[in-house]
Homo-oligomer: A and B are copies of this chain.
C-alpha cells in the first residue's frame, strides 16, 4: 500500500511514521506539509536521519489521490477545508484533527470557535472509536479519529453506561494528560522551566472534547448526558489517565462492573481490564496502543471510580488511526501495532 501523511511534522505525524515504518502492508510513505514542503524531514527531526531524509512534498490533490490511504494530522480548522474535495476519490482518509468528529455543526462552531466542515462531508464521516464502531469504519471513506481524552474516557465508561450499571445523570470526569498533547509549538505554557515540577488545571469546563464525549455516549450507550469534564497537565511527556465518578445503580456489585468490562472487550486486542489498582498507570501503556480500564465500587458511598489509561499519542492518536486503517483495509487490527509497552 502507498500511504501518505498530511501534516507530518506534528507529534501525531511522528507517531504515525514510527508505527507505519514497521507496518508490513505499507510499501511507501509520503510526507506532505503545507509550510515546510521541500525541506528534508530528517533535517527538521534529526532522530529520523537515515530513515526519512527525503524532502516533504507540497499538499497536492493529484498526488494524494494516487495513494491508498492518507492520514491528516493537522491542527483543527485545516482539514475541514482540505479534505472535502478528496472524499470518494478512491483514497481512504483518516483525519486526526477534531474537524469531523462532531456531527452538529453548531456545536463545533461553539466549542472550536471555527467554521465547521461542510454538512455533506460531515455526514459521510465515521467516528473511529474502533472498538465501538468497527463495522462503520470498515466502509468509511473518511474516518474521524477520536480525540485523546475521549478515547480514554469512552472506552472505560461506555460499557457501564450502556448496560445501565452506573447512573449517567451525574458523571464527573477528571482527566490528566502529559504535555505532548499540547503539540510541538513552543509557548509559555509548555516552556520547560515552568511546566516541569508543575501540576495544573486548564480549560476549566471549556475543553472541546466535552461535546465529543457527550455525542459518543449518546451514540453508543443511548444516554443523553451533560458531563462535568476537566483536564490537567502532568509534568511528563506521554500518557492520559482519566478518572471518572458515578453513582452505581441500586444493587449493582463490584463483580458485575468488572464482568461488564470483561465481556465488552473479550475480543478486543487493545483493551485490557485491570483488576489491581496498583497495576494502573500511564507507563503500563507507554508507546503502545493499549487502553487499560479499571473500575472500583466504593461500598461505603455506592459510587464507582472508573479509570481509563492510554498513551495519548498512540491509542489517543496515531495508533488508533492505524487501527482504523487496518479495519478499513481488512487487515487484522493489530497489524503493525502489536508492540510491547515501554514501561520504563
Contact = CB atoms under 8 A, between A and B. Distances in A.
A11 interface: yes
A174 B243 contact: yes
A296 B228 CA distance: 12
A272 B49 contact: yes
A22 B227 CA distance: 41
A296 B193 contact: no
A255 interface: no
Interface stretch (A79-87, A127-135, A198-206): A198-206
Nearest to A239: B199
Interface string A235-253: 1111101010101000000
Contact of A193 (B48, B184, B198, B276): B184
Given A204-B305, A298-B228, A176 B199 contact: yes
A187 interface: yes
Contacts of A340: 17-18, 21-22, 47-48, 51
Contacts of A281: 198-201
A190 B280 CA distance: 15
A127 to B, nearest CB: 22
A45 interface: yes
15 contacts: A14-B343, A46-B274, A48-B341, A51-B340, A180-B344, A184-B193, A184-B194, A198-B239, A198-B282, A202-B278, A228-B298, A228-B301, A228-B303, A232-B243, A235-B236
